[in-house]
A and B are shown apart, each in its own frame.
Chain A
Amino acid sequence: MAQTTHPPGTGGHAASGGEGGSRRDFLYLATGAVGVVGAASAAWPFIDSLNPAADTLALASIDVDLAPVAVGQAITVTWRGKPVFVRHRTAEEIESAKTVNLGDLRDPVADDARVKKPEWLIVIGICTHLGCVPLGQKVTDPRGDYGGWFCPCHGSHYDTAGRIRKGPAPANLVLPTYAFTGDAKIRLG
């Protein structure tokens, strides 16, 4: 940063140059490099301590029994602190999700790629715009123009496959990692 000009008479200038100068410079460089490596390594534990702790990670998967959810109903389960929408879709809802022309979609994904079993749509219930929770889980909720979900914050409309159809959100509702462990049992995470 600042150039170091030492007062005359202190011998400060002798620190560089002269015979043995390059060996000295190498020593200084090596020491500096080792010091920087040490400082950087010391920073890592601090940064990593901000990542999810072991107890948080251990709770990262949960089992959900879907048997009580009747056709047309939806439930919301909490997974990793986020709402997960599980909707038992009706035949019409499945039909309307399948027959959409992919070219009309902002984030074109076929319905098959968004479900593991056609009657169960499972998405993370967080609007991809700015993180609000869309309406549409309760029968009394507005479900938007496409029968899926409607985000009240900035007016994004999602269809019955959780795909973005209208409004500011850039992408479809995110799919959580899950697997069917039984006929109507899933494990999230």
Chain B
Amino acid sequence: MAQVQATKFKNPVVNWIDSRLPIFTMLDHEYNHYPMPRNVNYLWAFGAIAGIMLVIMIATGLFLAMQYSSHTSLAFDSVERIMRDVNYGWLIRYVHANGASMFFIAVYIHMFRGLYYGSYKAPREILWILGVLIFLVMMGTAFMGYVLPWGQMSFWGATVITNLFSAFPIVGDPIVTLLWGGFSVDNPTLNRFFALHFLLPFVLLGLVILHTAALHVCGSNNPLGIDPKGPQDTVPFNPYVTVKDGFAVVIFMIIFAVFVFFMPNYMGHPDNYIPANPLVTPAHIVPEWYFLPFYAMLRAIPDKLGGVLAMFGSIALLFFLPWLDRSKVRSCKFRPVYRQFFWILAIDALILGYAGSQPAEGSWLIIARIGTFYYFFHFLVLLPVLGKLERPRPLPNSISESVLKGGGAIAAGAHAKPMEKA
């Protein structure tokens, strides 16, 4: 961004401000002229969709916080007051609750898009690492948010997840006591979770800004995984990509609205409409769907510490992904062997998710173990080895050549085509 030249604006006030604080120049360059590879497909809209979801979550969360009481004796009833008495309170709460799920859907698609097209490879390592950090902070925020209504699932989810830390030898128990601020999940826990749940979204916002800044240094990846060679390979972000992303956002909002208005509790759990009871654990407790694959890994390992390490490890290894994948080719389009394994990983994640929702016994336990094994095998063995063994297909010379001439020798050219006139 350092090489950026100041933009001349029509409005003298804007110019006056801009010559002292070049914020308009920055916006102009980053969101107006920012060259976007012209062949990106609709999967590239999920970054923008996730960003909008974050804004929606912060807005609804702020207005919910104005009505919510973070005390164990009031929390459940105050949420019900929001649902019953506050004007449009039911709408704001259902948007917030379902918004968490929609946010994760957007982010998961965004992550798998990155995996498929190799968006984590040089020079985008920092971009990817910031993304994994965003994912981690999101998980923490979502977990603490789920505790706030103080229903049965809130309470027992908080109990189980905080107890994960007790798996660590020596420091484990003191850490759990510290997290709780007492000897069980109780009022101090609820209060601090509320404070952190309010804070973390702004940390998230900061990380998202860094994530975008890092993106704009090296530019967006594209379905071919090759760098743009000049203006003929790109379009200016505005208006082309803003309009395209806007269309994708509206479609996403329609799906979101179906959940909010017609099945608002579909992704929740009935037990969370029962007030927290520290003496009775629900018969079958499960986390929210977006944690299920990790929950399956936790339970797949028959050892307490082992399970916890597997769960944390499954996310930690994502930080090292740019160096685990030894292939120089980014896009799966040109990696016929890895592409098969990518889809196996995607299916593996879905199976792990389903296994996580089932009682940890019998065949589902075995399936969860196989799934966990494959997950680690994929990242720790397959990726490094395939990079050496696989013979990628030839890459096209440039994006414009591939787009305009139907991709030349590339069989996957049809995939890049939708960008042409869609």
CB pairs A–B below 8 angstroms (28 shown): A1-B11, A1-B24, A2-B7, A2-B27, A2-B32, A4-B238, A4-B239, A7-B33, A7-B35, A8-B231, A10-B231, A10-B234, A10-B235, A15-B239, A46-B92, A48-B88, A49-B87, A49-B89, A53-B67, A53-B86, A53-B87, A54-B84, A54-B86, A54-B87, A55-B81, A55-B84, A55-B85, A56-B85
Distance between Cα atoms of A153 and B228 in the complex (Å): 71
Decide yes or no whether A45 CB sits under 8 A from chain B.
yes
List CB contacts (< 8 Å) of B77-107 with chain A. 81, 84-89, 91-92
Query: B59 contacts the other chain (Cβ, under 8 Å)?
Result: yes
Would you call A182 an interface residue if the criterion is a C-beta within 8 Å of the partner chain's C-beta atoms? no
Using C-beta atoms within 8 Å of the partner chain, give the interface range for chain B: 20 to 34
| Residue in A closest to B236 when the chains form the complex, CB atoms | A6
B271 within 8 Å of A (CB atoms) = no
* Chain B residues near A99 (CB-CB < 8 A): none
In the complex the two chains form, what is the Cα distance from A99 to B200 in whole Å? 66
The residue in chain A whose Cβ has the minimal distance to the Cβ of B240 is: A12
Residues in B whose Cβ lies below 8 Å from that of A8: 231
- A155-166 interface mask toward B, CB cutoff 8 Å, 1 = contact, 0 = none? 000000000000
**B236 and A53 contacting across the interface, CB-CB below 8 Å:** no
A3 at the interface (CB under 8 A from B): yes
Interface size on A, residues (CB 8 A): 22
Q: Is the CB of B89 within 8 A of A53?
A: yes
CB-nearest residue of chain B relative to A3? B10
CB pair A2 B28 closer than 8 Å: yes
Please name all residues of chain A whose beta carbon is closer than 8 Å to the beta carbon of B238 when the two chains form the complex: 4
Alpha-carbon separation in the docked complex, A49 to B236 (Å): 40
Chain A residues within 8 Å of B, Cβ to Cβ: 1-4, 6-10, 12, 15, 35, 45-46, 48-51, 53-56
Closest to B95 in A: A45
Instruction: Judge whether B63 is part of the interface by a CB distance below 8 angstroms.
Output: yes
Complex: A6 Cα to B28 Cα, angstroms: 11
How many angstroms between the C-alpha atoms of A8 and B88 in the bound complex? Answer: 49
Q: Which residue of B lies closest to A15 (CB)?
A: B239
- Quick check: A49 and B63 within 8 Å, CB to CB? yes
Q: How far is the CA of A1 from the CA of B232 in the complex (A)?
A: 27
Interface 1/0s, chain B 48-75, versus A by CB < 8 A?
Answer: 0000000000011001001100000000
Cβ-defined partner of B81 (8 Å) among A6, A45, A51, A53: A53
Within 8 Å CB of B236, what residues of A?
4, 6-7, 10, 12
The residues of A that contact B10 with a CB separation of less than 8 Å are 3
Closest CB of chain B to A40's CB: distance in Å?
A: 14
Q: Does B16 contact A (CB under 8 A)?
A: no
Q: Contact: A48 with B33, CB < 8 Å?
A: no
How far, in whole Å, are A51 and B236 apart by their CA atoms in the complex?
A: 43
Asked if B27 and A49 sit within 8 Å, CB to CB, the answer is no
Whole-angstrom distance between the alpha carbons of A89 and B80 in the complex?
46
Interface residues of B in 6-65 (CB under 8 A from A): 7, 9-11, 14, 24, 27-28, 32-33, 35, 59-60, 63
User: Which chain A residue shows the least CB distance to B84?
Assistant: A54
Instruction: Report whether B87 and A7 are in contact in the complex, using a CB–CB cutoff of 8 Å.
Output: no
B87 touches A51 (CB 8 A): yes
| Residue pair A45, B14 in contact (C-beta under 8 Å) | no
CB neighbours of B14 from chain A (8 A): 1-2
Distance A6 CA – B87 CA, assembled complex (angstroms): 46
Contact status B92-A2, CB under 8 Å: no
Cα A151 to Cα B92 with chains together (Å) = 42
**Distance between Cα atoms of A158 and B89 in the complex (Å):** 42
Instruction: List residues of chain B with CB within 8 A of the CB of A7.
Output: 33, 35, 231, 236
**B91's contact among A3, A45, A50, A51, by CB below 8 Å, is which?**
A45
Contacts of B67 in A (CB 8 A): 49, 53
Select B88's contact among A10, A15, A45, A55, beta carbons within 8 Å.
Answer: A45
| Beta-carbon contact of B85 and A49 below 8 Å | no
B86's nearest neighbour on chain A, judged by CB, is A53
